Structure 1
Amino acid sequence: MNVSTDIQYLSRLELYQTEKPYMTTFEIPEIIGSTTNHRYTSTKANIQDAKNAKSLFSLHVNGFEFRDWPMEFQNTDFDDEAFIESCYYPVVLQQMKQAFPEAVEIFILSHLRRKRTEPSAIPAPPSSTPKHPNTISYAHTDFSPHGAKVAVSRLIALHEHLRGRRFEILNVWRVTKGPNRDWPLALCDYTSLNLDDVEFSDVVHKDKVGESTRLYANSGHRWYYIDKQTTSEVAIFRNVDSRGLEYPFAMHLSFANPNVEDCSGCSAPPRESIEMRFVLFY
């Protein structure tokens, strides 16, 4: 079912002409500064249901695609970090190797277990971030081309034979209980994207500075999601290709679904999901 809803885009502030957008992953004293200078604007967007058109999307054209990967695990299994790493990791890694046989090597970079715990999906301050973070409602990717190089630098240091090779960072995203209608994942079709609307944002860690992306509003953007998404319906999307933004990637976010019973877009049960980030070298 197609929906019309508000999504969060980075505001077009004059500030960003002289000060780069940034966020910290830790709390800092107010006397020093703010944890972020991001400001967002709610913008009405039409999000199309891809339920019956999943085969039409391609990672290499649209920046994302869908796969049918049945899951035998229970939702509660994913609350155990040891289970995720010892049981879930090997299954998805093998699926990725089969799906992308042209990759020379594939590594698991990280994973993130999310639970929607509040009516709003705006992230909590760093100091109050729970074990299982809330959903994110602003358009973004986790890494820019520069941020990707920072993220994989330690990995390459351990595997020097990969230095200089092209790589990409892909996310494998699924709900862990379904069918889900609560704060679904929406993906922006790369073919509708104007790269002038993409903004880089510093991500300041205690030991390094990475970089992600944000998106300014444009009425030409085409967004897609899967209504009543099941645990077998997996979204694979590209965060970034090391060669640059000219290679399809997927801005993404979660949104308040106006077709559910709650006025804030929430439904019962609340969304629970897991995403894994993979680095593929070529």
Structure 2
Amino acid sequence: MGLQNEKIAALSSVTADLNYLTPSRDRPRTFTFEPPSGEPRSNIVPEPHRVPIHDVRPISETVSLDREGFALVRQKSAVKDFYDQDQVKNVYYPEAERLIKAATGADRVFVFDHTVRKRVEGAADRGGGPRQPVARVHVDHTEKSGPQRVRDLLPDEAEELLKGRLQIINLWRPIRGPLLDSPLAVCDARTVKSGELVASDLVYPDRVGETYSVKFNPDHQWFYVPRMTADEILLLKCFDSKTDGRARFAPHTAFADPTTPADALPRESIELRTLVFHKE
């Protein structure tokens, strides 16, 4: 599966380390807060693998959410300051809903949260400062946690909504561009086997979420958008209830691009997470 070898060979690429999951008998687990005494913040051990990451721009018109599990779209936002929570919720959330409806034909889109990230050298994610890029191959939701988010967030409507098709789609964009530092790599979902997705606990103070960590396979095909601008968005499919062969889970990760100039500004980005409903 994935793109044909000759198409891949024609694309420019960089070679970089991506952090996969080191296989273990223990269930992967990460605390989002200070863990109980004697417990590590995470028991996930990264296993770096050097892989080619291809420039998706030349084929971006043919890449789709239902086939590869991601898409590159353009949108000039009216938001002036993505660090302003009110602007993001009152301006960007409605923009995102309209964009996803147009991209998917969905009947309803519900934006349920967003994260702004600004890379700080040496800082830990969830360490009290700005959220950091996640340099680990993962998928935000799983077969189990996708529908559960609907039950958590829309409890009165959940069972009726889940009778139709559910997708969970993230919108990821740079706040400032062109983005040179810590870009996002996305994997063609068709090249990932189900056994390579490992359910992993993300422990919050009030609930336990579930994401997928990913085991390495050299057949995985990776892509990124070089010099991504603030008017470009990567749509990432993190769940799809349809099991008819279309993409369901698209792994992704930040990575250290070896071509990044030493004086590049640190990555600043925003991602929105959305529940996408289709009646049929």
TM over 0.5: yes
CA separation in 2, counterparts of 1:245 and 1:171? 21
- Aligned residue runs from structure 1 range 46-61, under 5 A: 46-61=52-67
User: Alignment RMSD, CA only?
Assistant: 1.9
CA separation in 2, counterparts of 1:260 and 1:163? 44
CA separation in 1, counterparts of 2:273 and 2:191? 24
- The corresponding residue for 1:256 is 256
- More displaced, 82-91 or 38-47? 82-91
Deviation at 1:210, TM superposition (A): 1.6
2:269 is paired with a residue whose SS is strand
- The corresponding residue for 2:34 is 27
- The corresponding residue for 2:169 is 170
CA separation in 1, counterparts of 2:96 and 2:114? 11
- Aligned residue runs from structure 1 range 30-49, under 5 A: 30-31=37-38, 33-49=39-55
CA separation in 2, counterparts of 1:25 and 1:244? 31
Within the candidate set 135, 147, 150, 1:149 is matched to: 147
Structure 2 gap segments, 5+ residues each: 1-11
Structure 1 gap segments, 5+ residues each: none
Matched, 1:272 2:265: no
1:240 is paired with a residue whose SS is strand
CA separation in 1, counterparts of 2:194 and 2:143? 13
CA separation in 2, counterparts of 1:24 and 1:243? 31
- More displaced, 241-250 or 218-227? 241-250
Question: Conserved in 1, the CA contact under 8 Å of 2:186 and 2:251?
Answer: yes
Q: Write the letter of the residue equivalent to 1:116.
A: R
Matched, 1:193 2:192: yes
- How far does the alpha carbon of each residue in 1:19-69 deviate from its partner, in whole angstroms, 9 at most, with x for none? 2111122112323x2232111111101000112221121111101111122
Deviation at 1:238, TM superposition (A): 0.3
- How far does the alpha carbon of each residue in 1:168-189 deviate from its partner, in whole angstroms, 9 at most, with x for none? 1001111111111111110000
Question: Conserved in 1, the CA contact under 8 Å of 2:78 and 2:92?
Answer: no
Matched, 1:96 2:105: no
- The corresponding residue for 2:20 is 9
Deviation at 1:246, TM superposition (A): 5.8
CA separation in 2, counterparts of 1:210 and 1:162? 20
2:155 is paired with a residue whose SS is helix
Deviation at 1:157, TM superposition (A): 1.1
Structure with more helix by fraction: 1
Give the % identical residues: 30
Q: Write the letter of the residue equivalent to 1:278.
A: T
* Count, aligned residues: 265
- The corresponding residue for 2:212 is 213
